[in-house]
Chain A
Amino acid sequence: MSGDKDRRGFLKSLGRLAGLAAVAGLGAWARPKMSDFQSRWQLDPRKCVQCGRCATACVLKPSAVKCVHAHAICGYCDLCTGFFVSQPNSRNTGAENQQCPTGAIKRAFVEDPYFEYSVDPEKCIACARCVKGCTSFGNGSLFLQVMHDRCQNCNQCAIARVCPAQAFSRISSKNPYRLKGAA
């Protein structure tokens, strides 16, 4: 009986050694793949079709996706299609004439005939209405990005799973944004 136990104990130690070797082997194999950087979720604005799911699918409320504005490629239009709805009641900045349902886009006069538009991330819900207006008829300077100060970096991003354009992917935290108009 004790001989039987010794044998089992010996086999177990062998198995344990094999287990440790497997772990070490896994490490050695994965070493070149491993990265000092985290993988972060990001969307490619060139693939975005402004479906609006970023606003609803994120595990955060409001979404970790926000609209950002690349001023470098903005036309500074008076009649901004990202700011105004397509058939406004009248040409003023009343809430009913704005694309943004939360009033997150600020419009400020710069000089004739230019207006500066900026997005307040606190108010933005990533509905992408402004992005749609700007991309369809303007320069596409308004676009969506996952904001990494908010994103929980879920192992399976809930938006990526439902994005109809497959615009989301895991990218390195070394360079975690995909910006338009970057030099």
Chain B
Amino acid sequence: MLGNGWGFWVSAGGRFPPPEFTGGYRMPGLNPAPPPAAWLAWLDVAMLALALAAMIFFAHRKSSRRGILGVAVFSVFYFGFYRHGCVCSVGALQNVALAAANANYDFPWTVAAFFVLPLAAALFWGRVFCAGVCPLGALQELVLWRPVKIPAWLERGLRLFAWAYLGLAVLLAATGTVFVICRYDPFVLFFRLHGSFSMLMAGLAVLALAAVVGRPYCRFLCPYGVLLRICAGLARWPLRLMDEEECAMTRICYQECPYGAILRPVPEKEGGLGFGHGRLALVFAVGLAAVLVGGWLGWRAAPELARWHATVALAERVALENAGKVKGTTLESRAFRQLGLPADELLSDALRVRRQFQFGAPLMGVFVGMCLAGAFWRSLRSPPARAVFSIDPSFCLVCARCLDACPVLKKRRIAAIGE
């Protein structure tokens, strides 16, 4: 509050009629600068499409590590440092969730394009977006120094976090709480050269980890990566190594892959698939339990999650203050009282948000439960027989290290140049 010094003259009510000038004074207008032209947003979409096309060319046609890294460097500079990391496809999934839940939200075409283009590309060529068009992936690709192999069971387990993160991000975006992917984006502060100390530490930690563990964010956390996994699993022309008779079984591709995306050969099992009634019942029971427990946990966690929403937090705080259960005030509650907004409106808004969470959080829990059940089913299922090493397109980040290193393919490339 201002001091009392003004008391001698604000007693008139503190509101002053606009003067009537006599000397021909011209009042300046108020014309703040318009936002950047719309075509600049379309330029970003064009750059995305161009980078995707370049990535398809370099990875699929040329198997060129150098070309892929070139696109990665471009992405880090254009989408990262020049565009400051916004808008990106990973974050765009929250805009889609918000548009689905909120009819008043203007969903820009360009953001829709950012969401759809990489998924569409993945349906045909695998995760070329991850290869280095995504600035977050590109940054991690560029800092990977000495990759260590992660045990397969750990890899499979850690991958599940991305599903949970996707569920949480969609819930928080759809309720208009916060865009949590953007909030906890570990790298965007490098692009903006600004951020909180805690996020800087987190970013540096993830980047340091990325030097030895290939792309930890992409593999274990990225919520958009989950959608890309699904699309890439259905890819028409995924990145392939070679047919059975050509593979020299050197294991080089398996050792080179820093992302755990090379599938080792699996011998043919006697008696086919071998998935007995007992196991089927077990999977069904575990799946049902996971879904039920997930839904129940979501339902229980809903009030806690709803507190992330500013309106709910404020309404609870105001209620506690009014009941005299807490001492003092917060900046938020003071602001609310200062503005003199109707308290019942705040309460009804908060209750509406709470209801959304009470509906959405159990759904999220069921979703995560289903993912866990799916993972359990996969762990029991005997994988289909494979004679040679092959790429798992769902988890291949299209870095082309395997293609680059494979001696058979190298020989083939040399032969092609010779001709």
Contact = CB atoms under 8 A, between A and B. Distances in A.
B19 A26 contact: no
B30 A182 contact: yes
A4 interface: yes
Interface string A50-92: 0100000001110000001111111111010100001110000
Interface in B193-211: 194-195
Contact of B182 (A69, A154, A164): A154
A173 B35 contact: yes
Given A75-B19, A165-B336, A166-B311, A155 B119 contact: no
B120 interface: yes
A149 to B, nearest CB: 4
Interface in A25-67: 26-27, 30, 33-40, 47, 49, 51, 59-61
A37 B41 CA distance: 10
Nearest to A87: B5
B109 A111 contact: no
B234 A15 contact: yes
B175 interface: no
A170 B111 CA distance: 14
Interface stretch (B20-28, B133-141, B280-288): B20-28
Contacts, number: 197
B48 to A, nearest CB: 15
B307 interface: no
Interface residues of B, number: 78
Contact of A177 (B32, B36, B116, B338): B32
**Most chain-B Cβ atoms within 10 A of its Cβ — which of A40, A164, A179?**
A164
B112 interface: yes
B86 A138 contact: no
A13 B112 CA distance: 25
B153 interface: no
Interface string A148-162: 110111111000010
A147 interface: yes
- In the A-B complex, the 3 residue pairs with the closest CB atoms: A75-B16, A87-B5, A149-B33
14 contacts: A19-B123, A23-B123, A47-B339, A59-B192, A88-B5, A118-B28, A138-B14, A148-B32, A148-B33, A149-B33, A151-B35, A153-B35, A161-B178, A165-B335
Interface of B: 1-6, 9-10, 14-19, 21-23, 25, 27-30, 32-36, 38, 41, 84, 86-88, 91-92, 94-96, 99-100, 103, 105-110, 112, 116, 119-120, 123, 178-179, 182-183, 192, 194-195, 230-231, 233-236, 310-311, 314, 330-332, 334-336, 338-339, 384-385
